[in-house]
Every structure is written in C-alpha cells, then in structure tokens.
Structure 1
Amino acid sequence: MIMQKLSLHHLTLRDASPLQLADAAHASGFNYYGLRAVDVVHDAALIRELEARTHATGVKLLDIEPGWLQADTNIGDLLPALEVGHRLGAKHVLTVGLDDDRARLTDNFCVLCEAAAHFDMTVGLEPITYCAIGTPSDALATVYGSGQPNARLLIDALQFFRSGAHTEDIARINPELIEYIQLCDARLASPASVEGRRTEARTARLLPGDGELPLQAMLAQLRTDMTLAIETPTLALRGLPFGEQARIVMERTRRFLGH
C-alpha cells in the first residue's frame, strides 16, 4: 500500500503558534506542516527553534505562505519570507490572486516565481472562489501566462468543487503542475453567498470522509504518492488542546485514506 505523506496546514490549527503547530504535527504523526510567513519572518529566535524542531523530530516544513498577490503587492517585500522558507526546508510557496488587474497580477506572479526559483522553491497559485483568481481555469491561465518553469497550480479540494469544477477536469491538467493538494471535506451544496463561502472555508470545513465531496474520485485522478496538506479548520474542534485537535484530524484522515 502506498502511503501518502501528510502535512498539517496552518489554518487547521488557526490559533496555534508556529512552535505549537510544529509540535502538534510531530505528536500526531504528520510528515510536514505549513506556515504563514508573517508568523515567523521577523523572529530570529523562533526561526532557530523551528530549525531545532526539524532536526529533532524529522517533521519538515512543506510550504510557506508569504502573502497574497494584491494590487499594491511589492514582491521585494516577500523576499525575507522566501529566505526563511528556504532556511526551514520548504520546497513550495503558496499564494492567492487578489488583484482584479489580471496583467499586473500575472506580472507579480512571474516575479514571485523568479524570486522563489533562487531559493529552489515552486510557487503554487491557489484559486479561491471569492478572490480574483477563483477557478482552476483562471489559475492555469496565470500559470501559463507567467512562462515560469516553477509555476504550479495548487488545488484546495473545497475551493475546487465550490468553483464548479469536476473531478474529470483534473485529467486535463498537466500532472507536472500539481505537486500537492489541500484536502478537506464539506457538504455538497455550496453556501449561497460569498460571505457564507468565506466563513465555510475558514471555520466550517469537515474532516476527510465526514462530508459529501467526491474526494476519492479526485484522488483517483492524482498520483497515488501525492502529498496531502490537510486543511480542515472547524469550530467543532476549536478549543481542544492543539495536540488533540491534530490527533483527531490525523486519525480521521488515515481512516478515510485506508492507512
């Protein structure tokens, strides 16, 4: 049996500090975790502690989120985050398109890719239905428009299905553009409003197997060894100790995957 490697997405334990997130990932058996750059980039002592955790536990940093691409984004401001991500071993940068000027957004994405390449990282553009880049097609147009060899598509299972995309659409995407995905579950019916979708995404996702999304069909379209970043922020677990939250998430995910 092929065992997918699993990463604990930072939003799953949204109230945890970076060290608490890293410790919870280790205690519950995750291979990786992810970080928001703003939580670490200006704290040299914290960066050293995270490095020590990696050496001691073997749990690595999968990706870093340096910031979303907005109208006033200056990629130069994101370079310290890329440097920290590289120092902590991340191979992937996550970003979101929030700029309605598609040409400017594509230019910024291109520059971000060029900067990330210096740190041996790819850049995954994640479509979110309530952002300027809202569908896989939007994201792919930007990825291809950038012309950058390290440009990638990052699929979030919730946003993928909320955009109206179907599992068979994955077969039409160059598999080299999908290095890992974000996994969660949800009810099949989408919230009607933009605010409802935003609330669902940040506080009301379901653990894999607890909802109605065709996740097994989605995974069948992807490499069997693909890393899965588990992104399941839910108020149902909020308030429990972080290690307990992570343990429950891991237990349900493994059950869903048949591990």
Structure 2
Amino acid sequence: MKNPPELGMDHLTMLDLSPPDFVSVAGEAGFDVVGLRVLAATPDEEPWPMHPDGPMLAETLRRMDETGVSVLDVEVVRLRPDTTRDSYAELLESGAKLGARYITVNGDDPDHGRAAETFAALVADAKPYGLRPLMEAIPYTEVSDLTAAVRIAEGSDGGGILLDSLHFRRFGASLEVLRDLDRDLLACVQLCDGPLEVPQDLPRPKSLPRGQSTDGTDLQLESRAMRQLPGDGELPLKEFLAALPPELPVSLEAPVISLRETLSDNEFARRAYGSLSNVVREARRW
C-alpha cells in the first residue's frame, strides 16, 4: 500500500489507562499516533491531571520520545452556552506542549449561532498554539448531524470537522454526502464498527472508566463502552473510508468493554491495531 495513512488510537478506547501508559501500550501495538483526553468529556467524568506543567504531562512526553508515538489530537472542548477562553485555556497549553495537531470539539449549545461564534473564537485562540479545532457531530449532542457541524466549521477561519464512523451511521448520513464534502474541512477520521441499527436494551455495566455515566440512552452507552473493533460488525467501513481522501489519518475509537474485561492491555491494543490496519488496507484496495 503506497503512502499508507497514519494509524492512531483514541483515548476513549482505553480510557482507564493514564496518558503515559496509553502512549506506551499504543506504541507497543504499532500505532503511529494517539488522541489524548486532556479535559473530561462530561461533568461525571474524572479528568486525568494533564496540566501543562504537571508530572503526568512530562511523563507522557517522555513516553512519546521513547516510543516514537505522537499526538494527533487532544480532547475535549464542549461548546456550552457559557463557554469562554478560560474554559479551554489549559487545554491549549497542554496540547501545544504535546505537539498535538487538532482539538476535538463537541457541541452542547442549543443556540447554533452562538455555538458557531464560540467555535470561531476557539479557532482563533488555538492558532498561536499550532492547534486546529475540529467540530464533531454526535447524535445525542446539540450539534447532532453533519450539516450542523459543517455549517459551524465553515463559519470559522480555519476550523474543520471530525468524522466518526459510528456517529455517521447513527445520524443517518449517506456516503454520497462524504464525497461532496469540502476536502479542506477534513483532517482525520475516527473508526469503529457496530451493528447497522441502534442496539436496544443494552445491559448496564456497574461502572465505566473514569466515572463515565452508565445512565442515558442506549445510543450513549453504545458510544461510550459497547462499540466493536473494525471488521467485527456490520458498518460499511471500507465504503466509508473509500469515500474520503486516502491520506487522512485514521484513529481507532472503539471502547469495547467486553474485550477489555477478557484481554490484557497489550493484547487488546495489538488486536485493535490488527483490526484497524486490515480494514484500512482493504479500503485502499476497494
């Protein structure tokens, strides 16, 4: 395969691992890049202490140097009605020290006009740090579909969008939409597998890593803990990737609680890498 894309693993896949340990496990498995959870995604979640001048970030940098793994993105900035620069200032500093390229952004503001203004301000604030914010559409957030995410990104001076194969299926977009997207908005893509339809009445685990909530809808629980590795489900992943520029980095975001309970950290990561690389290779051939 000529010029294969970078292959990464997003932190949600193994959120129970601290950032430095996650980097080490990802490197041992063969991943080129990682996404790191620098800010908690929800109020229930306990954040890892990734302060710009803290010991955990310093150790993460040491492991990156040791393994050769780099940071693709840091997450997550949630756009709320009251989001200001103070809400994400520390993430900008941490992301810059980690050498990250992108910031994952989710939308929790029902006023899309205000969300667009906040996103544009984030884009401007992030530029001096060498970071590019990417708006991710998630069907159970206020920015719940690709149309809204694109509109918000287009209203900024340089922001982009982040595509996730599970969310893309769950908000019902078509592959034709991907082919028509402005390529300048695309930076990377997250991949996992799952059933074609939303699973119903999922069993509730006793707990999730870092205190993530087990409440909410089946859609939320599937996303947080019950995805599938690429190739294990029914999503048209080869077609999904084939509709996108082949050079885009592809990052695995696949928390699979059932496998995490039966495999060691390294066993799971190696299996995850094999699954991701196989699907990417097949998509290039397809």
TM-score by length of 1: 0.94
Runs of 4+ in structure 1 displaced over 4 angstroms? none
Instruction: Give per-residue Cα distances to partners, 1:43-62, cap 9 Å, x unaligned.
Output: 61111111112222210011
Structure 2 spans left out of the alignment, 5+ residues: 40-47, 202-215
Partner of 1:247: 270
Question: Aligned equivalents of 1:123 and 1:192: distance in 2?
Answer: 33
1:46 lines up with 2:69 in the alignment: no
Q: Which among 137, 147, 155 is matched to residue 127 of structure 1? A: 137
Instruction: Give per-residue Cα distances to partners, 1:151-194, cap 9 Å, x unaligned.
Output: 10100110011111011111111111111000011111124697
Instruction: Give per-residue Cα distances to partners, 1:21-67, cap 9 Å, x unaligned.
Output: 11111110000111111321266111111111222221001100142
Question: Aligned equivalents of 1:30 and 1:104: distance in 2?
Answer: 37
Q: Secondary structure at the match of 1:187?
A: coil
Aligned amino acid, residue 227 of structure 2: R
Partner of 2:211: none
- Computed over aligned residues only, the root mean square deviation of the Cα atoms, in angstroms, reads 1.6
- Contact 1:184/1:208 (8 A) holds in 2: yes
Partner of 1:25: 26
1:182 lines up with 2:190 in the alignment: yes
Question: Aligned equivalents of 2:53 and 2:126: distance in 1?
Answer: 21
Q: Secondary structure at the match of 2:259?
A: coil
Q: Which among 202, 217, 225 is matched to residue 195 of structure 1? A: 217
Question: Aligned equivalents of 1:214 and 1:138: distance in 2?
Answer: 23
Aligned amino acid, residue 69 of structure 1: L
Question: Aligned equivalents of 1:43 and 1:8: distance in 2?
Answer: 25
Q: Which among 144, 151, 154 is matched to residue 154 of structure 2? A: 144
Question: Aligned equivalents of 2:272 and 2:108: distance in 1?
Answer: 29
- Contact 1:34/1:63 (8 A) holds in 2: yes
Question: Aligned equivalents of 1:208 and 1:108: distance in 2?
Answer: 34
Q: Which among 82, 94, 97 is matched to residue 84 of structure 1? A: 94
- Contact 1:65/1:95 (8 A) holds in 2: yes
Question: Aligned equivalents of 2:199 and 2:124: distance in 1?
Answer: 37
- Contact 1:204/1:234 (8 A) holds in 2: yes
Deviation at 1:258? 3.2
- Contact 2:26/2:269 (8 A) holds in 1: yes
Question: Aligned equivalents of 2:77 and 2:51: distance in 1?
Answer: 12
Q: Secondary structure at the match of 2:107?
A: coil
Aligned amino acid, residue 5 of structure 2: Q
Q: Secondary structure at the match of 1:24?
A: helix
1:96 lines up with 2:106 in the alignment: yes
Aligned amino acid, residue 256 of structure 2: T
Question: Aligned equivalents of 2:219 and 2:85: distance in 1?
Answer: 28
1:72 lines up with 2:72 in the alignment: no
Kindly report which structure 2 residues correspond to 1:10-21, keeping only aligned pairs within 5 A, or say none.
10-21=11-22
Deviation at 1:77? 2.7
Question: Aligned equivalents of 1:43 and 1:118: distance in 2?
Answer: 19
Deviation at 1:103? 2.0
Aligned amino acid, residue 272 of structure 2: V
Count of aligned pairs: 257
Aligned amino acid, residue 6 of structure 1: L
Instruction: Give per-residue Cα distances to partners, 1:102-122, cap 9 Å, x unaligned.
Output: 122111111110111111111
Partner of 1:204: 226
Question: Aligned equivalents of 2:89 and 2:277: distance in 1?
Answer: 36
Structure 1 spans left out of the alignment, 5+ residues: none
Deviates more, 1:26-35 or 1:184-193: 184-193
Partner of 2:164: 156
Aligned amino acid, residue 129 of structure 1: P
Deviation at 1:203? 1.0
Question: Aligned equivalents of 1:181 and 1:55: distance in 2?
Answer: 25
TM-score by length of 2: 0.86
Deviation at 1:19? 1.3
- Contact 1:20/1:242 (8 A) holds in 2: no
